[in-house]
Amino acid sequence: MSPGSTLCGGLGLKHFSNWNKTVIAKLVWAISNKQDTLWVKWVHERYIKQQDWWDYTPAYGSSWYWKKLCKIKELFKQGCAIPRAWDWQGQNTYQISKGHQWLMPSHTTHQLPTKHRLNKLYPQPDTHCAFCHLMEEVEMHLFFKCNYARAIWQDPDLTGITTALLKLRVSKASKSITYAIFTSVIYYIWSTRNQVIFRHQIQPHQRTFQTIKEQVIHRILYINSLTHKYDMYIDRLVQ
């Protein structure tokens, strides 16, 4: 049956084109997250190898299906999907690669493939927030206004760390730590949102925040072991 704009009501039939894109989109995310499946491992070994998935271009002689999957990946790149949150350097700071600059505060709007944004590309059956199911899933609501996100931003440990950093002498190191906290909160809210949508799993906001805190601490401790420029901030982070 060829796809058309009018479908048979009551038969449970879906528009094939939109349904196909949704299925392939899940495969795109599975490859990006390197899910522990035989197929994903085979794809990385056979095609991607050591390349960055989001910068990967299929070879000319690749199969039509693989080219189709990569084409859908490019569609999602309009929303800047993210393979990782940051690129830590063996120096006193870390860098955000060009492909991940959506994490910058000025770029958090209209950059991610939220349900609202995807709905403009092709109709979505549900555009509500994956956490609260009350408001439309736009960036400002998802990352800052939703109760799930607000609970993370207002966690006593997070406010305590940022308040302590503000009381210290402003330096490149303190700015880097503050920025690391901000980007990791955005990243893990997005990551948790994807788990809700694709795996139907949600974890308490306390656990999400604990993951954020551990990641920031581990990275800062590692860089400090190389540079010893974060000594005065370590106590504030691990308390």
The answer on 140 and 204 residing in a single domain is: yes
Cβ atoms of 234 and 165 within 8 Å: the answer is no
The answer on 164 and 69 residing in a single domain is: no
Residue-wise pLDDT tens digits, 36-60? 778 888 888 888 888 888 888 888 8
Domain that holds residue 102: 82-238
Cα–Cα dist 191/85, whole Å:
10
Residue 35 reports pLDDT greater than 80:
no
The answer on 154 and 45 residing in a single domain is: no
Residue-wise pLDDT tens digits, 152-171? 988 887 777 777 666 666 66
pLDDT at 11: 34
- Domain end point (choices 77, 95, 115): 77
Residue with tokens 């063996």: 90
Cβ atoms of 34 and 40 within 8 Å: the answer is yes
Structural domain count, the chain: 2
The answer to the question of residue 1 being in a domain is: no
The answer on 58 and 92 residing in a single domain is: no
- Cβ neighbours of residue 220 closer than 8 Å, sequence gap 6 or more: 177, 180, 230, 233, 234, 237
Cα–Cα dist 14/21, whole Å:
12
Length of the chain: 239
Place 200 in a pLDDT band, splitting at 50, 70 and 90. confident
Place 102 in a pLDDT band, splitting at 50, 70 and 90. very low
Cβ atoms of 184 and 192 within 8 Å: the answer is no
Residue 122 reports pLDDT greater than 50:
yes
Place 148 in a pLDDT band, splitting at 50, 70 and 90. very high
At 61, give phi and psi (nearest 5°).
-90, 10
Question: Residue 117 corresponds to which tokens in the numbers above?
Answer: 């944004």
Q: Which of 60-64, 70-74, 170-174 has the lowest mean pLDDT?
A: 170-174
The answer on 70 and 175 residing in a single domain is: no
Cβ atoms of 210 and 153 within 8 Å: the answer is no
Residue-wise pLDDT tens digits, 215-238? 777 766 766 666 666 666 665 565
Could you tell me the pTM of the whole model? 0.56
- Domain end point (choices 77, 97, 115): 77
- Would you tell me how many other CB atoms lie within 10 Å of the CB of residue 82? 20
The answer on 221 and 161 residing in a single domain is: yes
Q: Please choose, from the candidates 86, 36, 76, the residue with its C-alpha nearest in 3D space to the C-alpha of residue 53.
A: 76
